[in-house]
Amino acid sequence: MIKHDTHQIYSLMLWEKVLISLSKNCVKSEFITRVQDIKKETYCLEMPIRQSGSSMLSKGDIVDVTFNRKDSAYLFKASILDLFESPNHSMSIKKISDTERIQRRKYVRLDISCRMGYRLLGLPPQNGPVLGPEKIGTLLNISAGGVLFEGDLKIKSDSVIIMSFSLKENDTLDNVLAVVKRCEGSRSEGYIIGAEFITKENLKEYGLDDLSEFLPQGTGTFDENLQKIVVQFIYDEQIKLRKKGLLT
């Protein structure tokens, strides 16, 4: 029988990425950061990067801290002890609750950093779609369900985009349709955009089934073969990270 290290499952590790969630004045804001240092139930975190919402973190705030494991996501509550008081602008939090398993992830996500191209697909009622100019962004993470990327174009939720990027030298995903699910940020700092791949099954849902003849040549849905490429890439990269001791 395989025994799991429950302490490792329920505890944060050095350099691990976490999501900080703050609910204030009926507004939920989320921030991404990493663990810099650990002292018992106190954690020193890098300066957080806002992902959504408009609230500001303050000393004394109670926040939710979420982190991922292979099987699920886990959460505990923490109090902010200090904020940007150190020379490296880090923050410190103290754990004030037990860690709880909150969900089983539908797709495994992999942090990544690579160049990508994307174009906004406008859908006027007549004369077919209007394709915007190509923009260059940075892919931040990927799963078999979609991507998170950074770009300089603010895109409304439910907008359709066409994306192209390479995962390996011979594994290029060209002109794949996706729908934007969220877009947070500003013109000066850039936008963080979450997009879900459009499949044959939900093509009609976004009004694209009758427009296939108007789409740019080579544009397609996220089919089973592309999903296999992404899943295999994530698996291979996780193996590499485990061998380096960077993933458990």
User: In the prediction, which pLDDT does 105 show?
Assistant: 52
pLDDT of residue 76: 92
Q: What is the pLDDT of residue 240?
A: 80
Q: Are residues 151 and 88 in the same domain?
A: no
SS3 212: helix
Query: Own/partner pairs for 169-174, CB < 8 Å, 24+ apart?
Result: 171/229, 171/233, 173/226, 173/229, 173/230, 174/218
CATH number for the domain harbouring residue 13? 2.30.110.70
Same domain, 177 and 134: yes
Residues 140-184: tens digit of each pLDDT = 889 888 999 999 999 998 899 999 999 876 688 888 999 998 898
What's the pTM? 0.57
Do 124 and 53 share a domain, yes or no?
A: no
**What domain count does the chain have?**
2
Other C-beta atoms closer than 10 Å to the C-beta of 190 total 15
pLDDT (0 to 100) of residue 128: 59
Query: What separation, in Å, do the N-terminal and C-terminal C-alpha atoms of the chain show?
Result: 19
> Do 173 and 60 sit in the same domain of this protein?
no
